[in-house]
């Protein structure tokens, strides 16, 4: 989850065009030129190749390629929104050149869950790599279909629903799945079976635990690894520098319920629109307290609709109302769910803070709950938004407000969650993913502390080509790299990165 773009949306009915941006040093090359074929040999027989095309050196646009023989499996195809390094564009997706030259061998794209940093690039990525089948659980597939509908002229999504504990065949490879705890329902980990052992990618996860004691049900999920031979673990590093275990989500549910009971005016809650577990709980608490829930923000509305369609939760008729209806009820009976916890320019809460929202105005006595942590890089815009809120006489509660109940918990495991996973999976080789380079190094340090040999750990960059050779006995990084410069999406135009857009 990276800072959102600040540009209004482009018309969704335009046909996506592929355009190549030319770097200044290549100015004599005509726009739209064909690339020279990559000088990267295919893996030799018996070799396992791993290529992270996104999600390392950064948090966002996750994509990892597993290549064995004539079979390629891709795990996730995410995006991240524009930053100060990518001015003038809408969002960024992983570079697909390596896959475009091998599209005839791609057997599956597997999506671990429905957050945009894992599925946001799917429509445009699929159109460039031959539209292979997409496997994921029900809620993720429904969310992906919604996103695909924004690109009506692209090929239809060839989606196949799987469940935790399912086993599928992808070419000559067997792939199995297991459920994980995350802020998005239907999240899953991926296991690829090889002749030398399992390749394991749990996706985004934390442990279901109370005071450091993992629940019995969570233990049962991971018992699959007790007798398994794990060749390689690819594991996220997002919260590796956070001490202890991640706060259980149930603590946040209890905190929000306490606040909704004691707040006397309107309650406005800003949260990630993809945090469906929490949104569903807020709706459930509100209707039990005889409150109405006004939903504002396009992504918030869409995700709640998808969650209801997936039967993840079922609000009572009349509980959810439009933002225009909020003023029809006494303030103490109104909860407003809004986008904009990161201070995004066009999100609902920020427009209310700047008094530019056309359908909603804040009132003195309102309570604002920021049910999200601040993503690194968004601090200044969140502070500006909070200034605008404070000038209107509202009370602001965030995850940092002293003396208040818990209003946010991460969906990513802290260092003790990660330590527990390593001990349970017991991999021979380890490649940390999903994090800036210093986070990957901290994750490597933990693996060394747990007894792994340094030669069995590889810390990659985007585009690194890692191979397991010698019958599963050796791991190394090739000198060659896959193209990894991010692909910029500007409206419906896709191109390579250049120094100035």
CB 368 within 8 A of CB 353: no
Q: Which of 339, 363, 398 is the last residue of a domain?
A: 398
pLDDT confidence of residue 374: 86
218 and 133 within one domain: yes
239 and 299 within one domain: no
Output the six-digit token pair for 155: 């090929």
How many CB atoms are closer than 10 A to CB 419?
Answer: 17
Cα gap 76→79, rounded to integer Å: 10
CB 456 within 8 A of CB 430: yes
For the whole model, what pTM was predicted? 0.88
CB 55 within 8 A of CB 93: no
Output the six-digit token pair for 291: 């409150």
CA 9 to each of CA 78, 91, 296, 346: distance values in angstroms, whole numbers, following the listed order = 19, 11, 17, 10
Output the six-digit token pair for 434: 């999903």
Is 13 inside a domain boundary? no
391 and 285 within one domain: yes
CATH of the domain at 365: 3.40.50.10710
228 and 317 within one domain: no
Structural domain including 325 reads 249-398
Pairing verdict, β 213-214 and 209-210: antiparallel
pLDDT confidence of residue 497: 43
Is 7 inside a domain boundary? no
204 and 60 within one domain: yes
298 and 211 within one domain: no
Give the list of residues 6+ apart from residue 358 with CB closer than 8 angstroms, or none: none
Is 405 inside a domain boundary? no
CATH of the domain at 440: 3.60.15.10
Q: Which of 344, 371, 398 is the last residue of a domain?
A: 398
In b/e form, how buried is each residue of 330-368, taking b as 16+ CB within 10 angstroms?
A: ebbebbbbbbbbbbbbbbbbbbbbeeebeebebeeebbb
Output the six-digit token pair for 347: 């999100």
**pLDDT one-digit tens code per residue, 267-277:** 999 999 989 99
pLDDT confidence of residue 493: 52
Give the list of residues 6+ apart from residue 334 with CB closer than 8 angstroms, or none: 266, 267, 291, 292, 294, 326
Can you tell me which residue has the tokens 């707040």? 263
In b/e form, how buried is each residue of 288-320, taking b as 16+ CB within 10 angstroms?
A: eeebbbbbbbebbbebbebbeebebbebeeebb
CB 357 within 8 A of CB 348: yes
Is 109 inside a domain boundary? yes
Under DSSP, the state recorded for 414 is: -
418 and 387 within one domain: no
Output the six-digit token pair for 383: 């502070």
pLDDT confidence of residue 331: 96
425 and 311 within one domain: no
Cα gap 275→273, rounded to integer Å: 6
168 and 154 within one domain: yes
Is 15 inside a domain boundary? no
Start-to-end Cα distance in the chain: 23
pLDDT confidence of residue 82: 62
pLDDT confidence of residue 85: 59
Each residue's pLDDT, cut to its tens digit, for the chain (501 residues) gives: 333 343 444 443 343 443 333 233 333 333 344 567 888 989 999 999 999 999 999 988 999 999 999 999 999 999 987 655 555 667 889 999 999 999 999 999 999 999 999 999 999 999 999 999 999 999 999 999 988 888 888 888 999 999 999 999 999 999 999 999 999 999 999 999 999 999 999 999 999 999 999 999 999 999 999 999 999 999 999 999 999 999 999 999 999 999 999 999 999 999 999 899 999 999 999 999 999 999 999 999 999 999 999 988 899 999 999 999 999 999 999 999 999 999 988 899 999 999 999 999 999 999 999 999 887 778 899 999 999 999 999 999 998 788 778 999 999 999 999 999 999 999 999 999 999 999 999 999 999 999 999 999 999 999 999 999 999 999 999 999 999 988 887 654 555 443 333
* DSSP, residue by residue, 207-271: --EETTEE-HHHHHHHGGGSS--EEEEEEE-TTTTS-SSPPPHHHHHHHHHHHHHH--S-EEEEE
218 and 276 within one domain: no
258 and 226 within one domain: no
* DSSP, residue by residue, 60-96: S--EEEEEETTEEEEE----EE--TTSTT-SEEE---
Output the six-digit token pair for 60: 């966002």
**pLDDT one-digit tens code per residue, 233-251:** 999 999 999 999 999 999 9
256 and 109 within one domain: no
Is 165 inside a domain boundary? yes
Is 2 inside a domain boundary? no
Q: Which of 337, 364, 398 is the last residue of a domain?
A: 398
């Amino acid at each position: 989850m990276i800072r959102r773009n600040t540009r209004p949306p482009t018309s969704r009915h335009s046909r996506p065009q592929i355009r190549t941006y030319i770097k200044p040093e290549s100015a004599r090359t005509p726009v739209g030129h064909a690339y020279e074929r990559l000088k990267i040999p295919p893996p030799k027989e018996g070799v396992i190749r791993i290529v992270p095309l996104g999600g390392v050196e950064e948090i966002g646009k996750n994509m990892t390629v597993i290549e064995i023989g004539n079979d390629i499996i891709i795990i996730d195809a995410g995006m991240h929104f524009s930053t100060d390094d990518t001015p003038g564009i809408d969002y960024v997706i992983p570079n697909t050149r390596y896959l475009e030259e091998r599209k005839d061998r791609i057997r599956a794209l597997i999506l671990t869950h429905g957050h945009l940093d894992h599925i946001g690039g799917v429509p445009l990525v699929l159109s460039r790599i031959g539209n292979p089948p997409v496997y994921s659980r029900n809620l993720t597939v429904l969310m992906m279909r919604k996103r695909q509908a924004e690109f009506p002229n692209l090929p239809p999504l060839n989606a196949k629903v799987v469940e935790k504990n399912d086993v599928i065949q992808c070419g000559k490879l067997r792939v199995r799945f297991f459920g994980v705890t995350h802020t998005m329902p239907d999240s899953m980990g991926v296991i690829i079976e090889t002749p030398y052992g399992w390749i394991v990618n749990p996706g985004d996860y934390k442990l279901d635990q109370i005071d450091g004691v993992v629940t019995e049900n969570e233990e049962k999920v991971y018992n699959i690894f007790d007798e398994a031979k794990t060749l390689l673990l690819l594991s996220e590093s997002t919260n590796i520098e956070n001490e202890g275990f991640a706060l259980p989500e149930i603590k946040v549910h209890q905190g929000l319920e306490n606040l909704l009971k004691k707040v006397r005016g309107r309650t406005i809650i800003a949260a990630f629109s993809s945090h469906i577990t929490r949104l569903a709980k807020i709706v459930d608490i509100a209707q039990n307290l005889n409150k109405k829930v006004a939903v504002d923000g396009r992504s918030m509305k869409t995700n709640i609709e998808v969650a209801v369609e997936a039967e993840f939760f079922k609000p009572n008729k009349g509980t959810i109302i439009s933002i225009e209806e909020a003023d029809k009820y006494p303030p103490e009976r109104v909860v407003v769910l809004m986008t904009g916890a990161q201070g995004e320019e066009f999100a609902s809460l920020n427009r209310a803070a700047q008094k530019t929202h056309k359908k909603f105005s804040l009132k003195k006595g309102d309570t604002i709950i920021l049910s999200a942590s601040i993503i690194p890089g968004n601090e200044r815009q969140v502070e500006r938004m909070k200034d605008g809120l404070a000038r209107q006489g509202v009370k602001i509660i965030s995850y940092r407000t002293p003396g208040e109940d818990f209003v946010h918990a991460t969906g990513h495991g802290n260092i003790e969650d990660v330590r527990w996973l390593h001990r349970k999976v017991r991999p021979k080789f380890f490649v940390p993913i999903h994090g800036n380079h210093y986070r990957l190094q901290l994750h490597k340090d933990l693996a060394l502390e747990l007894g792994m040999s340094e030669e069995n750990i590889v810390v990659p960059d985007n585009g690194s080509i890692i191979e397991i050779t010698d019958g599963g006995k050796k791991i190394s990084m090739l000198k060659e790299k896959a193209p990894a410069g991010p692909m910029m999406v500007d409206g419906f135009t896709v191109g390579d990165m250049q120094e100035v857009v």
